[in-house]
Amino acid sequence: MKNFIADLHVHSRFSRATSKNLTPRNLAAWASVKGIQLLATGDFTHPGWLEMISDQLKSVENGFFRLKDQSGLDQELPWFSGTGGAEDIRFVLCTEISSIYKKGGKVRKIHNLVFMPGLEAVRKFNIRLGQVGNLASDGRPILGLPARDLLEMVLETDPLAFLVPAHIWTPWFSLFGSKSGFNRLEDCFEDLSSEIFALETGLSSDPEMNQLWSALDRYTLISNSDAHSGEKLGREANLLSGEISFPALRAALRKDTGPARFEGTLEFYPEEGKYHLDGHRKCGIVLEPAETARLKGICPVCGKELTIGVLNRVFELADRETPVRSAAQKFSSLVPLTEVLSEILGSGSGTKKVMGMYNQLLRDFGSELDILRRAPVEDLKKSSALLAEAVDRMRKGQVRRHSGYDGEYGRISMFTPRELLEFRHGRTFSLGGEAEKNEEIGQKWRKPVSTVQDRDLVEDFSPNEMQVSAMVAGPGPVLVLAGPGTGKTQTLMGRIRRLEERGADFGRMLVVTFTRKAARELKERLEKTCRKPLPRTDTLHALALEYWTEVLGESPTLLSEESSRKLFAAANPGLQGKTLKTAWNELSLARESGRRIPNEYARRYLDQKTRFHLVDYTDLLEFWMEKVKSGSYGQRFNHVLVDEVQDLSLLQLNLVMGLAGERGTGFFAIGDPNQSIYGFRGAVRGLEERIRQSWPDLKRIRLSRNYRSAQDILDLSSALLPERQTLVASKNLTASISLFEAKSAEQEADWIAARIRDLLGGTGHWQADRNAQETIGPGDIAVLVRLKALTAPIARKLHATGIPVSVPEDEPFFADSRVALLLSMAGRMLGLPDAASDAPECPEEIIKKGPLALAAHLSETPPFDGLFWKNSAFLGLVKAFQTYGGWQGVMNMTQLETELCAIRARAQKVQIMTLHGSKGLEFDTVFLPCLEEGIVPFAGMDMLLGKPASEILPDMDEERRLFYVGLTRAKTGIFMSYCSSRKFYGKIRTSFLSSFVRGLPQDMIRKSALKRHVRRDERQLSLF
């Protein structure tokens, strides 16, 4: 049975902090030197590396690869000419993926190895993964995709594909890491946990340490180099025997009986790993777990939390006093040969002196691993007696251990300084004479008292006095003024639960939300705590559509806002430019205020809708309002609860008040006038006064305790309010508020990307080592801008940097209801089972010709009209038909896109959105860029484009409230920035800092700017 050594975790030249010499040929040359027969490709998700893999490797055994051209490998390592045997070296397709996301109230940073059985599977996987993050920014992509969902994607790609959690104990980026890991594998992978059958232990632990925890007994523990350069290959590796193929490798790791068997591992001494013990590298503090426990996990120098090492974390989770050894999990500990030579020669490991002897030993004895494991000590003595003694001590474990900690590699030495000095003076010593002995096993594995609390606890909600007052108020009308972070949703839910306790009939209860998303989230929460059936919960427009259908017996063809504007323009061809925009805005605002505009433009628009049997959103509300006023709707609800009441137009407010009845009994509205930001859509001014005109006995309750933000953020933002209504923070949080002045939008985007990387704690080990602060997840960060047009340069920079980022996207063309009908017609022709039965009939020969033929045939057949065939959704269908070669291609594309949308939705990313879009959301840290006068407050597009100012002036009070909304989204961090010069729609615009920012308390803001001359950090990144 053939024995072979496998290193299954390697990186390419496309990963950060790696050697630029790394190519498949270079890796094969080094594998020959090291004595490795099976090597992971690493980084197959990177398009550049995948191209090199495809060009330089060819498929051989089932699922493995080797070099296409093995000639000239000596040129890869010019110092060594013995790179023969490369024809025996196989590659397995593998990549490492970094998942950074939030789960269980904590940021998780998990690295996983993914193995694929062929290039077709790799390409299929990469297409799906590319929807979640930028695969070209780093050989090890950074995603906001939870590890469980990543595993699901792997399993769906190919039945032989598998995932192995990487370096499972590393503090910053691992499954069980002290900084961002889980306490149980099942908490991470949930229902798919049984699909994990192997774990990579990492450099700072060995199998014996892992055998202290019985939960790991069922897994195969593998060890790999995680090499970032060829020199580091094989510093840890796996021993296997039997057939060399992908299915055999998978079966061996699964412990299945088959053609291959897992025989054990070759290990670092774990003390040499750079996370073995606890400590603070910057403070020069290194501690054993018992000392850490005595200090309660606090650094005695700086007073901050220590970085808890692998040994301590193993002790924390262990359930055994001594390891239970497994016959199947054999291992031996080695020291890299260049380190051994460096010690005995007294010269650096990369010096000519060391490399010269290294080269000669390879010629005399074969590969490095053969020298370290098998070369007879007596034969090694012929080259160097000191080398022979060093290798013998290493094999016996008689070594001196200087443990690594907090990103600092440890050091293993074979001799005391005195021994080396005596030997160089010609004295000899007996084998093992003065070498330091290992610690006693019992002492080595003695567990200290754990200082780490359960990291997955989530704080319970307990209502305060004013929230309770709001929950029980009534039965008359109630208005709750709930500032940002004051527990508005919890109060609304508490109100519903209290009504349930009092026996309220949910069938006669209505809950109105401002968005469909808010309605879904509220229903999900209520399902966990309330009886079924739940109260009717939705937006006013959705409820109005439902009522229209109920009364008239069929759903109307509903116009989107864009389609409504276009239909108005088509009905009034004499209106152009600003005149058209002004006429449309006047009509829209008048209708939302409950007023009629008896002009010719409105009449033509109404006629056009009537002609094509179309309705807009306001039609739905007016129809419902008319029925409520006439009394034909009746009194259907005993309780009407309204969320975000400040955003309702007068028409909407009158409608919900009408639904509550003449006296307002059971009416409960909650919101914050200081966050009223939809005046341009007709949102009511003087909300409380409007309600009180109808119901003088209205009870007002104000919530003032904030559960989101640090007090400094609340104090800062209150300066924007006319009455400086300061909220009181319930949490003792420390805020960071800063302002950066950039010279250009590009410099601003660079600064934002750098700060976000810092907040994420870096996205790789090398960054975590340099910035060991408490970190947050990508989903905890938002970048908020005043205009959607300002998002592009920031999104491009974050994407290029490899930061998971999400920007609001336009709805795909196939989401349009009338495009969906056309797709159903095509689906029916293709024999698809899910084709809609209500799709219009049309001859197949016309359908086959495509969307343009359908447009000519159906023309103005309801629900279609002349305007539809010109809108963006239909034009998107036309383009897709041409791009994908017909209906079958379009169907495949829409199916794939629907699936990819679901994948994207699962990933946690930095959110880039408008200030309006951020309403109702909260983040740990908020970036507010583009804070120049004219943008914030917004002075209109004409001014930004250098045109004469519009006659319609912006509402400065609303702009101020909008900025207030942006500031109060943050829990602890606000990063503001502005540019002295910005390119906007092709024009360079010189500007200055927003008056809103200048009006904030300046002593609370830390200011910065890039100086002209900046000292460069000349430290070189370690290649691991």
The answer to whether 487 is annotated as binding is: yes
What is the CB neighbour count within 10 angstroms for residue 608? Answer: 18
Give the whole-angstrom CA distance, residue 446 versus residue 260. Answer: 37
Question: How far, rounded to the nearest angstrom, does the alpha carbon of residue 717 sit from its chain's CA centroid?
Answer: 28
Q: According to the model, what pLDDT value does residue 254 have?
A: 95
Average pLDDT over residues 756-774: 59
The percent of residues above 70 in pLDDT, for the chain, comes to: 90
1010-1022 residue pLDDT tens: 665 444 443 334 4
Q: According to the model, what pLDDT value does residue 425 have?
A: 72
Average pLDDT over residues 462-483: 93
Q: Is 653 helix (H, G, I), strand (E, B) or coil?
A: helix
Q: Is 184 helix (H, G, I), strand (E, B) or coil?
A: coil
Q: According to the model, what pLDDT value does residue 249 have?
A: 97
Residue 986, pLDDT above cutoff 90: no
212-230 residue pLDDT tens: 999 999 999 999 999 999 9
| Band of pLDDT at residue 870, cut at 50, 70 and 90 | confident
Q: According to the model, what pLDDT value does residue 533 have?
A: 87
Residue 108, pLDDT above cutoff 50: yes
- Helix H segments across 278-351? 289-294, 310-317, 337-345
Residue 437, pLDDT above cutoff 70: no
Residue 450, pLDDT above cutoff 50: no
Task: Decide: 240 and 262 in contact? Cβ < 8 Å.
Answer: yes
Q: 418 exposed, middle or buried (CB, 10 Å; 0-12, 13-18, 19+)? A: exposed
Q: What CA–CA distances, in Å, run from 43 to 9, 53, 554, 762?
A: 10, 10, 55, 19
The answer to whether 483 is annotated as binding is: yes
Residue 434, pLDDT above cutoff 50: no
Q: According to the model, what pLDDT value does residue 679 have?
A: 81
Task: Decide: 28 and 56 in contact? Cβ < 8 Å.
Answer: no
Residue 857, pLDDT above cutoff 80: yes
Task: Decide: 463 and 682 in contact? Cβ < 8 Å.
Answer: no
* 664 Cβ contact partners less than 8 Å away, ≥ 6 residues apart: 476, 477, 657, 694, 695, 698
Give the whole-angstrom CA distance, residue 948 versus residue 288. Answer: 71
Q: Is the pTM of this model over 0.85?
A: no
Query: Which stretch, 666-680, 762-776, 831-845, has highest mean pLDDT?
Result: 666-680
The encoded tokens of residue 995 equal: 């008056």
* 550 Cβ contact partners less than 8 Å away, ≥ 6 residues apart: none
Q: What separation, in Å, do the N-terminal and C-terminal C-alpha atoms of the chain show?
A: 34
357-408 residue pLDDT tens: 999 999 999 999 999 999 999 999 999 999 999 999 999 999 999 999 998 9
Extract long-range pairs of 155-159: CB within 8 Å, 24+ residues apart: 155/192, 155/195, 157/116, 157/121, 157/124, 157/125, 157/128, 158/116, 158/117, 158/118, 158/121, 158/124, 158/125
Lowest mean pLDDT among 338-342, 775-779, 789-793: 775-779
Query: Which stretch, 375-384, 674-683, 828-837, 870-879, has highest mean pLDDT?
Result: 375-384
Stretch (H or E) spanning 363:
helix 352-365
Q: According to the model, what pLDDT value does residue 85 have?
A: 65
| Band of pLDDT at residue 295, cut at 50, 70 and 90 | very high
Lowest mean pLDDT among 400-404, 488-492, 826-830: 826-830
One-character DSSP codes across 219-256: SEEE----BSSGGGTTSSEEEEEE--SHHHHHHHHTT-
Residue 832, pLDDT above cutoff 80: no
* 437 Cβ contact partners less than 8 Å away, ≥ 6 residues apart: 398
Q: What CA–CA distances, in Å, run from 13 to 21, 26, 102, 423, 797?
A: 7, 10, 30, 42, 22
- Give the amino acid at 36: I
Give the whole-angstrom CA distance, residue 494 versus residue 67. Answer: 66
Query: Strand 667-671 relative to strand 478-482: parallel, antiparallel, unpaired?
Result: parallel
By C-alpha distance, which of 511, 508, 499, 501 is closest to 475? 499
Task: Decide: 270 and 294 in contact? Cβ < 8 Å.
Answer: no
The answer to whether 482 is annotated as binding is: yes
Lowest mean pLDDT among 35-49, 452-466, 621-635: 452-466
Residue 905, pLDDT above cutoff 90: no
Residues in the chain: 1024
Half-sphere exposure at residue 816, Cβ-oriented, CA atoms within 13 angstroms: 23
Residue ranges and CATH numbers for the domains of the chain are 3-317 (3.20.20.140), 465-559+616-703 (3.40.50.300), 728-804+908-1009 (3.40.50.300), 813-906 (no CATH)
The answer to whether 484 is annotated as binding is: yes
| Band of pLDDT at residue 428, cut at 50, 70 and 90 | low
Question: How far, rounded to the nearest angstrom, does the alpha carbon of residue 53 sit from its chain's CA centroid?
Answer: 28
Q: According to the model, what pLDDT value does residue 801 have?
A: 87
Lowest mean pLDDT among 342-351, 361-370, 831-840: 831-840
> Which carries the bigger pLDDT value, residue 240 or residue 71?
240
Q: What is the CA radius of gyration of the chain?
A: 34
The percent of residues above 90 in pLDDT, for the chain, comes to: 60
Average pLDDT over residues 702-727: 89
Q: According to the model, what pLDDT value does residue 868 have?
A: 82
Average pLDDT over residues 271-290: 92
Give the whole-angstrom CA distance, residue 318 versus residue 741. Answer: 51
Average pLDDT over residues 310-314: 95
By C-alpha distance, which of 352, 334, 330 is closest to 390? 334
Q: According to the model, what pLDDT value does residue 809 have?
A: 62
Give the whole-angstrom CA distance, residue 562 versus residue 556. Answer: 17
Residue 446, pLDDT above cutoff 70: no
Give the whole-angstrom CA distance, residue 387 versus residue 341. Answer: 7
Q: Hey, CA dihedral for 21, 23, 26, 27, is it positive or negative?
A: positive
| Band of pLDDT at residue 729, cut at 50, 70 and 90 | very high
Question: How far, rounded to the nearest angstrom, does the alpha carbon of residue 539 sit from its chain's CA centroid?
Answer: 29
- Give the amino acid at 417: P
Identify each DSSP E strand in 483-627 by its residue range.
509-513, 536-539, 557-558, 614-615
Average pLDDT over residues 36-40: 97
Lowest mean pLDDT among 560-569, 864-873, 968-977: 864-873
* 275 Cβ contact partners less than 8 Å away, ≥ 6 residues apart: 169, 170, 171, 202, 204, 307, 309, 310, 404, 405, 406, 407
**Cα-based torsion angle of the residue sequence 197, 203, 208, 209 in order, rounded to the nearest 10 degrees:** -90
Give the whole-angstrom CA distance, residue 545 versus residue 539. Answer: 10
Residue 433, pLDDT above cutoff 80: no
By C-alpha distance, which of 115, 265, 117, 118 is closest to 201? 265
Give the whole-angstrom CA distance, residue 46 versus residue 63. Answer: 19
The encoded tokens of residue 155 equal: 């399993």
Average pLDDT over residues 579-590: 90
The answer to whether 486 is annotated as binding is: yes
| Band of pLDDT at residue 451, cut at 50, 70 and 90 | very low
Q: According to the model, what pLDDT value does residue 1016 have?
A: 40
Residue 1, pLDDT above cutoff 60: no
The answer to whether 489 is annotated as binding is: yes
Q: According to the model, what pLDDT value does residue 805 have?
A: 86
Query: Which stretch, 94-98, 729-733, 819-823, has highest mean pLDDT?
Result: 94-98
Give the whole-angstrom CA distance, residue 561 versus residue 556. Answer: 15
Average pLDDT, rounded, for the chain: 87
| Band of pLDDT at residue 912, cut at 50, 70 and 90 | very high
Average pLDDT over residues 73-91: 78
Extract long-range pairs of 368-376: CB within 8 Å, 24+ residues apart: 368/33, 368/34, 368/35, 368/234, 368/336, 368/337, 369/5, 369/34, 369/35, 369/36, 369/234, 369/237, 369/266, 369/334, 370/35, 371/337, 372/334, 372/335, 372/337, 373/266, 373/332, 373/334
Half-sphere exposure at residue 72, Cβ-oriented, CA atoms within 13 angstroms: 3
Only one residue has tokens 């979640």, namely 132
Q: According to the model, what pLDDT value does residue 770 have?
A: 40
By C-alpha distance, which of 852, 905, 892, 846 is closest to 875? 852
Q: According to the model, what pLDDT value does residue 452 have?
A: 39
Q: 343 exposed, middle or buried (CB, 10 Å; 0-12, 13-18, 19+)? A: buried
